[in-house]
Structure formats: C-alpha cells, structure tokens
Chain A
Amino acid sequence: MKKTLLAGAGSLALVAGMAHAQDLAFAPGEGPFSWDSYDEWAANAPDLSGQSLTVFGPWLSPEDGYFGNMLAYFEAATGVEATYTGSDGFEQQIVIDTEAGSPPNIAVFPQPGLAANLAEQGLLTPLADGMNDWVAENYAAGPSWVALGTYADAAGADQFYGFFFNVNVKSLVWYVPENFEDAGYEVPETMEELIALSEQIIADGETPWCIGLASGPATGWPATDWVEDIMLRTQTPDVYDQWVSNEIPFDDPRVIEAIETFGMFARNPDMVAGGPGGVASTDFRDSPAGMFSSPPQCYMHRQASFASAFFPEGTVVGEDADFFYFPSFAEKDLGSPVLGGGTLMAVTDPSPAVDAFMEFLTLPIAHEIMMAQTGFLTPHSGVNLEAYNNDTLRNQGEILLGATSFRFDASDLMPAAVGQGSFWTGMVDYVGGTSAEDVAGAIQDSWDAAK
C-alpha cells in the first residue's frame, strides 16, 4: 500500500500506531436500551470481518466521538472496521470526492438539496428495496420523511436515497426559568400570549429577545428559521410546501406577512438586545449568552435544539435554562406545527458492509446509543424514550413524535442560490432596514435566475 512509502517519514514519527480497541460505551444488556432486537440482529448478521466501512459527514468533535461509539456496536456485531471522518467543508468536499471518483461508503448530508443534486448526477446509490416502506411505517410523520429522502436519479426516475438520522427541532424558545421567576413571568401557551409577554417585558424596562444572525459566510440563516416558523403558524402546511417549491412566489403577500411578523421582533429596537444593528452583527453562537449575563440582557432566545451547546460552561439544561415550544396563534387553529432540520445518510459507494450498516440503522439501538450521549433526536417510533440523555431532550423528542405537522427547514430545500444564498442575505438586508416587499422581490428574482 501507499502507506508503506511513508515508512521513512514514519521512522521519525514517534507515535507507534496503536490499535485503539474501542470499548463499548454502554455495557450490553444494561440500561434503557433495546438490547433484544440488537442481539437478535447481531446473531444473524453476516460475518464481514476484514471489510471496512467509511462514513464521511459534517460532525466534528464532540459529536464525531459519539458517532464512533455507535459504530462500535456495529463493528462488534459484524466485524467490519468502520471509521467516521468529519469536515467542516463537507458540502464542497463530498462534491469533489464523488465527482473525482474517490468517495466514502456513506455520506451524511446536512441538506437534502445537496443530496438531490448528487442523486441527479448519478453519484448516489438508492437504498435497498423496502427501506422506504420501513421509514414510512416506523418514523413519526413517516411519509414526509420518505418524501424528503426521495430524489430523481440520473434517468429522472424517483428513487429512495436518503435515510434520516439525527433530527433537530427548531421551534423552540429558550429561557432562564429563574429569571422568569424573579420577574414573575409565565411561560406563554399561545403566540398571542408570547407577544403580550414581550410587550410586558418592554413595559418593565427590559429587553425580551436575543437574536443573532451572524454566522460567517452563512450569515442570516437564523432569520430564515424565524420566517419559516412564522409561516407554519400563519399559513397551512400546504401553503408552506408551495412556498418551498416556488409554486407561490416569494413575494406573495402571505410570505411578506411572515417576514413582517419577524420584523415585529427583530426590527424593533425595544424588542431585541442591541437593536436591529446588534441582530445583524451578533454571532448566533454568542447571542444566547445575553440570557445568562447579570443583569440579563434579554429573556428569550428562539433557536433549534442544538442551541444548548452554546450556553455558558456549566449550564444545566432543564434547570439553569429551559425551553418552551414556539407557540402557534390560538385564533388561526393550525395545530402544533413543528419546524425541523436533520442529517440524512446516503450511499456513495455501495458494498456488503454498507447494506449491513443501513440495516443496523433501522434498529432502535443505533438511535438509542446516540440519544443517550448527545443532543440527538429521532423520529423513530420504536425507540425507548427513557434512553434520552435528559428530560429536556426527551421533551424535544416528544414534540417531534407529537407533531401534527412536521416541515423541514425550507431554506435547506430551496435551490442553493436561494436557500443558501439570497434568502440569507435578504434577511440581513431586511433587518438592516430594507422593506419586506423589496427583499422578497429580490429573492424571487434570484430564484427566477436560478431556474
């Protein structure tokens, strides 16, 4: 192999290559895990010793370690040597690797749009027959997950490519319970109450919201989540779907209404810490810190389930900080819509080990091991909810399982020029003072240009 070439360099190297015998993170047979189905599967699993499986995705530390712990159970059952590598430039690198012909076995896509592009070029391999039926039956809101993972192949025929693994819920508002207690505020149940609470906080001379849009080259994306969440609360899911597929234009009055509702929060200097200028310039990772400063700079922060990763060190989620569901308008009667995102696994280089691994992912244990370690949510209805790492996650998992309608992050589904381009920048312009009509019109123009 090539690596023997490096023996010369390696002789300088100090670290003797050591086989890291990975211990299993949770002892088999113990804890709230579905060991029975795992044992049964492991007993019948093909012996694939000597084969290797490579998984490439966007997760870096510490998530890569958690994922590696999960892989260890697959390794134990089949003898496959599985490795995960992560990259923050995943989106570019997977395109280069697949096009040039040196892909990993499995790629973990953060955006369905990118997977759809690769599928169209024939660079992905469809999942085994029956996988789509399995997802439809075993995932909460199953058909919508199947639809999100089904793309046209090179010949134009629809195939099931993407298996969703690791989902996050975006419709959450984070707050500090003790700050609410000190000020005598109640957790709002409806959007009307939430708006009333915000006004109450302003009347008390404080600032209700922390919003931060800055995120390097992706600056603006947190605002797209706001608009999407509000769309789901002001319009029916059908309208949302039409908006995603551009059957209704971006500058439709209903979309503009959603943008302006967001503006009610983000463009009001009293409503948001730092004023609209601060919204655009604050990093989304730094903005939750405002809730924890003393005195608090703000009382609420709307962000996805992963926001807890950016809380100050030592914050106990569930005690020091908690969340409530971003409520819907009582008067609109649209149920409890949930906005979410997630990563999907797709096969870029098929092998027997890949088939076995995709089968392994349908077992509850694969999800439970992840649930027990990190902020991992799953729509798999067969898992034991006891396995969630903490109550907060369990509550989020229940929101996911109990959603009357689940919709995927619209910006991840729109064409890249819009969803990862003009929508982001447009929202920054909007917060900066451009009118909602102008912004929406410009985004629609960029969409027309991308067609």
Chain B
Amino acid sequence: MDSIAGKKPGLTWAVNLSVLAMVLLWIFPTLGLFVSSFRTGDQIVASGWWKALFPAEQIVQLRVADPDENRVERDGVFRVEGNFFLTGELTGEIQAFGVSSRDLGAHAPGEAADMGDGESLAVNADGSYVWSGSDDQISGRGQRVFVTATVPPDFSLDNYDTVLGEGVVQDLISWLVGAALVGIAGFLALRALLPAHGPVLAVGAALLYGAFALIAALRAGLVGTTPFVATGLVVVIAGAAYVLVRRAMPEAARTMAWVLGITAFAVFVTDFGVGTGVGAATASEDMAKAFMNTLTVVIPATVIPILVAAFAAYALAWMDFPGRALLIAAVVGLLVVPLQLALIPLLKLHNEVGIGKGYVGTWLAHTGFGMPLAIYLLRNYMVGLPRDIIENAKVDGATDFQIFVRIILPLSFPALASFAIFQFLWTWNDLLVALVFLIDSSGQTTVMTKQIVEILGTRGGDWEILATSAFVSIAVPLIVFFSMQRYLVRGLLAGSVK
C-alpha cells in the first residue's frame, strides 16, 4: 500500500537535489561569464572570477616617476618623489613592498629599502614614495616597485565600450531605468485618478510615453530632437488607433497590441539601440550595421521555411497520394545529412543561377537547411489533430486549401511557434552559413557573429571581449525566447503524444 495517492514518494529529495544541481550547473558558468565581462584581460589571466567579487591581497608591479623629468637635486643627492595613490596606479591598503623580483615583500611601509651604494627607496602607507641616490643611480627608467596591497574589487564597462561603442550600455541602462520609473509612476497615478480602467489608461500611457520622449530629447541636449518627437507622436497616434480599433473590433485588439509592441520595439531600437548618433547612445558603426544585417538575414530565414513547411506538412499529413510514406521517410532521412556537405555545391548553384553571394542566397540556404526539421515537426503535430474535424469540413464542402487555412493553421500555432523559436535562435547564432553564402570580400556584408569574431582579433584569446559579446548577442534571443516560451513548452510536446 506504499503507492497510495497522497503519500509523499521517498525520493523527492533526490529529485530536488538533481534539479538544484542542474540549475547550478547552468547558472555557475553563466554568472562567471557575466562577471568576467566586467574585468580586463589581465585580471582574467591573473585570478578567477569568483575572487573578483572580494577585496584581495595582490602584488602590484609599479614604477616610480620618470627620473629624467622628476628628479630633484639637493646637496648632491638626487631624489624622485611621488604618490602611487594620487596617480591612480594603486588603490587599497599597502601591506609591504619590495624592489627586487626575488624578494617582493621585503619591507614594511615606511621603511627604506637599501639598494646598495647609498641608493634607497621608501614607500609609505599613504602611497607616497622617495627614491634617492647618486646622479647615476637616479637616471634612466623609473625604479620598479612591487607593492603588496589589499585591492578592492575593480570592475569596468570598458569591454562593453569595445563591443558596442563608447557609452552605449550606460545610456541604455539609464534610459531603461528612467522609462521604467516614469511608466510605473504614470500607471499608479492613472489608477488612482481614474477608477475606470481601459481605453483611458491606454491613451494616458501613450501620452506619458510621448512626454518621456520629450524628456529624453531634453536630456540629449535637444540635439536631433526630431526622432524623439517622432517617437512620441508615433506612439500617441498608435495608442489612439488602438482605442478606436478596440471599440470597433474587440477581437482584433490582441493583434493590434502585438503590432503596437513590435512598433514600439522597432522605434526603441532605432532611436536608442544602435548608431543613429541622434541620441546619446551611439553604437559603433560596424556593430550597428552588423545588427541590422543580422536582422535582415534572420527574419526572412525564419518566416520562409515556416510558410513552405506548413503547406508541405499538411500535404504529408492529410492528403492521400501515392508515395507519401516514402516522401516522409526521405524527409526524416534528410534530418541526418550534415549541412556542411551541401556548402560548395549550393554556392556553386547560386553562382551559376546568378544569385551569387547575398541575402537571397542566405535565405534560401537557411530555408533549405531548416526544412527537414520544420516539415517533420509540423507534420507530426498536424497528423495528431482530430480526424473528425477535418472530415466534417470535407463533408461540408471545404477544399484542402480552406481546411488548411481555416482549421489546421490556427490549431498548429504551438508547433509553428516552437519551430520559429528554434529557427530564429539557430540563424541568429549562425556563422558558418553566413560566411559561406553572405559575406563576400567587398566587406559590406557582415553579421553579429562575424563582427564578434573580428573584435576578438587575429589570434583570439581576448576572453573578456568574448564574455561581453556573449552577453550582448544573447539580448535579442532572450527577448524572443521569453516572449514566446509559453508556446515552446507546449510546442515541444508537439507530435509526441497522439
């Protein structure tokens, strides 16, 4: 009687532990990458990212000021004085110092290190130092000093400046925080003032957005105000349209909301995200171009295969014709063919047909490579739809096309969405297909992945740039994933249970 419902299974803790382990396994490296993206290359080589979060005792190699410019003579003794804290070379607390690489912590702060023949160097706890000796000794390069110091954690946004352009991240963050604050304040105010929610709220929010665009324009010093005003106007007009549509056709409001959201996103991206130079945020020109090129590749390369595959899947699932089973088997077989096999023949074909290297060729290639999975996934989902509905429709005189458009397509939405996510992520992250079919030697076509590889440099190895780029390029897929993930969860089960 152990397995009676209501009794807790004995191994729950094992399940919980394994889930915890899996979550940690995923979070730990991601967090490491995130922390690393705020560190310099030298810091990454010197210590692990987990140490970066705490003050650490470090031995810092410093050099006193150049004697040729800074030395002062007094009674035949030459001196160079300075302060490591004031020059910004050192932060934290000095524990010890040394002048030879063989004995790094030889002296306590305040003590003078004797370097022989009357030459000496003293470093004090306040960072000041005195290097004194004869004319000959105090010349050439500044003396090396090894200072053992407790250094506070040190992070910078330099990597993001390298990847995106100067100051882009700071501007984006301050803009987002500002937008969120204004949005929340506006929402609370409206709710308090107007108990009747609905249309008025929408108009209010649109007006608020317009007002905020004006504030943003002021913040940018009224330079290039037009796009900001335009943004506000677009949103106000769209908001008004939304209200009208909502009144007239309530069922279309949902679609309208999506359109509005996408418009707002596009406006946001064009205004603040990338390289217009009108806002305070100006992404590096190359990255902006690569971002737009990537979108140009990804959106058609996601939409085209879905369109084609949906038709094919319907035919393979519900239309009777000889050889159908063989065709399905062929499609399944194609799933295992590595796309690398097709690179040269396909590019040859494109050259012969006259498409050459370019967007059209890239869309076609992505479509072709994505097609087997798309057809397989959609066909398995569609074949699981209730036969009765389709037969009823046929009895009522519906053609195959009508059945497809009116019945199958709406019902298959989860499968379509899940494939769209897969295809979007794969084309977004793709470098190989872009290199082969898109990027020619004219240098005009580039995509994000290629741009990131280029920033990494000829011999690679700039881990800090790699970590930063990973977080930059993940942004758009994250938005897509989170906005569509509820379909993914449903869609992943597509075809698995009949």
Q: B146: CB under 8 A from chain A?
A: yes
Within 8 Å by CB of A310, from B146, B344, B461, lies B461
Q: Is A296 an interface residue (CB 8 A)?
A: yes
A295 vs B352: C-alpha distance when bound (angstroms)? 62
Residue of A nearest to B462 (CB): A285
Given that A14-B288, A84-B443 are known contacts, is A5 also in contact with B454, CB under 8 Å in the complex? no
B313-348 vs A, Cβ < 8 Å mask (1 yes, 0 no)? 000000000000000000000000000000110011
Q: Find chain B residues with CB under 8 A from A3 CB.
A: 358, 444
A to B CB contacts below 8 Å, 9 in the list: A2-B358, A15-B289, A61-B458, A83-B442, A88-B456, A96-B344, A100-B344, A289-B45, A294-B60
Say whether, besides A83-B442, A295-B104, A5 and B360 are in contact (CB < 8 Å). Answer: yes
Instruction: Give the Cβ gap from A102 to chain B, nearest Cβ, in Å.
Output: 5
Instruction: Select from chain A the residue with minimum beta-carbon distance to B354.
Output: A2
Once the chains are docked, how many angstroms separate the CA of A63 from the CA of B270? Answer: 31
Q: Are B275 and A60 in contact (CB under 8 A)?
A: no
Cβ < 8 Å to A, chain B residues 244-295: 266, 270, 274-276, 285, 288-289, 292, 295
Closest chain-B Cβ to A435's Cβ sits at a distance in Å of: 32
Q: In chain B, what residue has the closest Cβ to A293?
A: B46
Distance to closest chain B CB from A318 (angstroms): 11
Say yes or no for B419: interface residue by CB 8 A criterion: no
Decide: B296 and A6 in contact? CB cutoff 8 A. Answer: yes
Q: How far, in whole Å, are A182 and B59 apart by their CA atoms in the complex? A: 17
Q: Contacts A5-B360, A100-B347, A183-B101 hold; do A61 and B289 have CB atoms under 8 A apart?
A: no
**A50-81 interface with B by 8 A CB criterion:** 52, 54-56, 58-64
- Size class of the B contact interface (CB-based, 8 Å): 35 or more
The contact of B435 among A52, A54, A59, A93, by CB within 8 Å, is A93
Cβ contacts under 8 Å, B360 to chain A: 2, 5
Asked if B439 and A178 sit within 8 Å, CB to CB, the answer is no
Contact A99/B344 with A54-B442, A84-B443 known, Cβ cut-off 8 Å = yes
Residue from the list B46, B357, B359 in contact with A102, Cβ < 8 A: B357
Please measure, in the bound complex, the distance between the C-alpha atom of A89 and the C-alpha atom of B460, giving whole angstroms. Answer: 12
Contact of A101 among B45, B351, B453 (CB under 8 A): B351
Residues of A within 8 A of B440 (CB): 54, 85, 102, 104
Cβ of B486 within 8 Å of any chain A Cβ, yes or no, is no
A-side contacts of B456, CB under 8 Å: 60, 88
A370 to B450 Cα, complex, angstroms: 25
**Which listed residue, A14, A62, A285, touches B276 by the CB 8 Å rule?**
A14
Q: How far is the CB of A448 from chain B (nearest CB, A)?
A: 28
Can you list, as one digit per residue, whether each of B427-468 has a CB less than 8 Å from chain A (1) or not (0)?
Answer: 000000001100111111000001001111111110000000
Contact A88 B101 (CB under 8 A): no
Task: State in angstroms the CA–CA spacing of A34 and B454 once bound together.
Answer: 32
Residues of A within 8 A of B348 (CB): 99-101
Contact present for A85 and B344 (CB under 8 Å): no
Interface size class of A (residues with CB under 8 A): 35 or more
Residue of A nearest to B98 (CB): A294
B296 contacts A294, C-beta separation under 8 Å: no
Contact B100 A6 (CB under 8 A): no
Q: Does B41 contact A (CB under 8 A)?
A: yes
Contact pick for B285, options A15, A56, A178, CB 8 Å: A15
In the complex, what's the smallest C-beta–C-beta distance from A92 to chain B, in angstroms? 8
B359 touches A2 (CB 8 A): yes
The CA of A379 and the CA of B275, in the complex, are separated in Å by 43
Whether B128 sits at the interface, judged by CB under 8 Å, is: no
User: Which among B102, B146, B348, B455 has the highest number of chain A CB atoms within 10 Å?
Assistant: B102
Known: A5-B360, A14-B270. A295 touches B275 (CB 8 A): no
Interface string of B140-157 (1 = CB under 8 A from A): 010010100000000000
Q: Does B91 contact A (CB under 8 A)?
A: no
* Partner-A contacts on B (CB < 8 A): 40-42, 45-46, 59-61, 100-102, 104, 141, 144, 146, 266, 270, 274-276, 285, 288-289, 292, 295-296, 343-344, 347-348, 350-352, 355-360, 435-436, 439-444, 450, 453-461
**Residues in chain B near residue A102, CB distance under 8 A:** 347, 351, 356-357, 440
Q: Which residue of B lies closest to A183 (CB)?
A: B102
**Closest CB of chain A to B262's CB: distance in Å?**
12
Is A313 interfacial (CB-CB < 8 Å)? yes
Query: Which residues from A are CB-within-8-Å of B344?
Result: 96, 99-100
Chain A's nearest CB lies how many Å from the CB of B123? 15
Beyond the given A285-B460, A306-B459, please list 9 additional residue pairs across the A-B interface where CB-CB is below 8 A: A2-B360, A9-B296, A96-B347, A96-B436, A97-B347, A101-B347, A102-B351, A285-B459, A295-B102
Query: In the complex, which residues of chain A have a beta carbon less than 8 angstroms from the beta carbon of B285?
Result: 15
- Given the known inter-chain contacts A14-B275, A87-B435, please indicate yes or no for A313 contacting B42, CB distance below 8 A: yes
Complex alpha-carbon distance, A105 and B443, angstroms? 13
CB-CB under 8 A from A61, the residues of chain B are 454-455, 457-458
Give the docked Cα–Cα distance between A312 and B40 (Å): 10
Chain A residues near B439 (CB, 8 Å)? 85, 87
Distance of A97 Cα from B357 Cα, bound (Å): 10
Q: With both chains docked as a complex, state the minimum distance between the C-beta of B305 and any C-beta of chain A, in angstroms.
A: 19
Asked if residues B458 and A2 are in contact (CB atoms below 8 Å), the reply is no
Q: Which residues of B contact A10 (CB under 8 A)?
A: 292
**What 1/0 flags go to A392-432 for Cβ under 8 Å of B?**
00000000000000000000000000000000000000000
Q: Which B residues are in CB contact (< 8 Å) with A101?
A: 347-348, 351-352
A2-B289 Cα distance, complex, nearest whole Å: 17
Complex Cα distance A60/B452, Å? 11
Q: CA separation between A179 and B146, bound complex, in Å?
A: 12
Binding site for B on A (CB under 8 A): 2-3, 5-6, 9-10, 12-15, 52, 54-56, 58-64, 83-89, 93, 96-97, 99-102, 104-105, 178-179, 182-183, 216, 283, 285-286, 289, 292-296, 306, 309-310, 312-313, 319
In the bound assembly, the distance between CA atoms of A14 and B269 in angstroms comes to: 10
Give the residue name and chain of the B residue nearest to A287 (CB). B45
Chain B residues in 8 Å Cβ range of A58: 458
Q: Which residue of A lies closest to B296 (CB)?
A: A9
Please, how many angstroms separate the alpha-carbon atoms of A286 and B350 in the complex?
43
- Which residues on A sit within 8 Å (CB–CB) of B450? 87
A-B interface, 9 closest residue pairs, ranked by CB to CB distance from nearest: A285-B461, A54-B441, A104-B441, A100-B347, A14-B276, A9-B296, A294-B59, A182-B100, A83-B443
On chain B, the residues within 8 Å of A292 by CB distance are 61
- A100 CA to B285 CA, complexed, in Å: 31
Q: Residue of B at shortest CB range from A104?
A: B441
- Taking a contact as CB atoms under 8 Å apart, the answer to whether B436 and A60 are in contact is no
Contact (Cβ within 8 A) A88 B351: no
| Residue in A62, A93, A182, A319 whose beta carbon sits within 8 Å of that of B141 in the complex | A319
- Can you name the residue of chain A whose Cβ is closest to the Cβ of B273? A14
What separation, in Å, do the CA atoms of A85 and B46 have in the docked complex?
34
**CA A286 – CA B59 in complex, angstroms?**
19
B441 contacts A294, C-beta separation under 8 Å: no
Measured between beta carbons, the chain A residues less than 8 angstroms from B275 are 14-15
Q: Which of B40, B146, B289 contacts A294 (CB 8 A)?
A: B146
Nearest Cβ in chain B — how far from A290, in angstroms? 9
**Which chain B residues border A104 with CB–CB below 8 Å?**
440-441
A85 touching B101 in the complex, CB below 8 Å, given contacts A61-B457, A61-B458, A289-B45: no
For residue B450, which residue of chain A has the nearest CB? A87
In angstroms, how far is the closest chain B Cβ from the Cβ of A229? 20
Minimum Cβ distance to chain B for residue A206 (Å): 8
Question: Please, which residues of chain B bring their CB within 8 A of the CB of A309?
Answer: 457-459
B220 shortest CB reach to chain A, Å: 15
Q: Which residues of A contact B441 (CB under 8 A)?
A: 54-56, 83, 85, 104-105
Chain B residues with Cβ below 8 Å from A52 are: 442
- Docked CA distance A5–B442 (Å): 17
Complex contact A60–B458 (CB within 8 A) = yes
**Quick one: closest A residue to B60, CB to CB?**
A294
Residue of A nearest to B357 (CB): A102
Contacts of B296 in A (CB 8 A): 6, 9
A85 to B454, CA, bound (A): 10
